[in-house]
């Protein structure tokens, strides 16, 4: 971390401490990587400093090829493996038979149904047996995420949820990536600040809301995938 300017060193040290604290407190901790810019920062912090945390990701079957390239580059750099969970094939087949291969565009209900089959089902298997999961969300990403707390009880999934990058700005993330020479998703250089499934992600103009390229045909209010549900009030973790 010597390559980092002092404020960023402090920010990274605080995030590492949060990760260590989570392991000390909960023992079995996993990180669900989205493979976006925040993910490569967290992957570096975890695989360099808090290696007890297991990293997994979800291959929904609709990812960009560049996402697979990034998985490969990260694994080669650190000599570690990201565990990949795939959706239950019967669940996806059944959803597609009922709604069509691109039926997620027909409305928020259909879109959430596709995310449930392709993301939530494998996510639930990914967190099975863990007491806490780590996310890369930042408060500045959306009004909904600004309401998050660094440590929360995730009542939906029944385990603790740690967001150690909550206080990071987008600039902090990119300064860390460049200073540490980390590999990152190739589409970030093509105007994609937030990257998910290919048919549900598009480039945005410079300066636009970074989340506006995700599910752009929906109201802002419904643009989460179910891993980070909309929140109406404090979910602060009071169980620690």
Specify the length of the chain in residues: 240
For 125, half-sphere exposure in the C-beta direction (CA atoms, 13 angstrom radius) is 15
119 binds ligand SF4 (CB under 6 A): yes
By CB under 6 A, which span of 30-38, 112-120, 160-168, 205-213 interacts with ligand SF4? 112-120
x/- letters, 125..164, toward ligand SF4 (CB under 6 A):
----------------------------------------
Between CA 231 and CA 224 the distance in angstroms is 11
Residues assigned a catalytic role: 225
CB-nearest residue to ligand SF4: 197
Q: Which residues contact 13 (CB under 8 A, 6 or more apart)?
A: 1
Nearest CB to ligand SF4, comparing residues 196 and 235: 196
Q: What strand order describes the sheet that includes 83-85?
A: 83-85, 54-58, 29-33, 132-134, 159-162, 151-154
Decide if 114 contacts 201 (C-beta within 8 A): no
Nearest CB to ligand SF4, comparing residues 104 and 130: 104
Nearest CB to ligand SF4, comparing residues 23 and 195: 195
211 binds ligand SF4 (CB under 6 A): no
């Amino acid at each position: 971390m010597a390559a980092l300017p002092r404020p960023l060193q402090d920010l990274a040290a605080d995030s590492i401490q949060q990760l260590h604290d989570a392991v000390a407190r909960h023992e079995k901790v996993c990180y669900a990587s989205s493979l976006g810019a925040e993910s490569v920062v967290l992957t570096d912090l975890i695989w360099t400093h808090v290696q007890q945390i297991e990293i997994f990701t979800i291959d929904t079957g609709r990812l960009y090829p560049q996402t697979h390239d990034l998985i490969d580059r990260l694994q080669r750099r650190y000599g570690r493996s990201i565990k990949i969970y795939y959706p239950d094939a019967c669940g996806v087949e059944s959803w597609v038979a009922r709604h069509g291969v691109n039926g997620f565009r027909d409305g928020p209900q259909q879109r959430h149904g596709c995310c449930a089959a392709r993301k939530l089902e494998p996510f639930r298997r990914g967190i099975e047996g863990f007491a806490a999961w780590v996310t890369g969300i930042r408060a500045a990403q959306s009004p909904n995420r600004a309401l998050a707390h660094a440590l929360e009880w995730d009542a939906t999934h029944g385990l603790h949820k740690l967001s150690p990058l909550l206080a990071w700005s987008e600039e902090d993330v990119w300064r860390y990536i460049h200073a540490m020479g980390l590999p990152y998703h190739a589409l970030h250089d093509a105007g994609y600040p937030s990257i998910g499934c290919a048919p549900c992600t598009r480039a945005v103009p410079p300066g636009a809301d970074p989340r506006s390229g995700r599910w752009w045909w929906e109201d802002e209010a419904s643009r989460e995938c179910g891993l980070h549900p909309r929140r109406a009030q404090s979910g602060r973790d009071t169980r620690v």
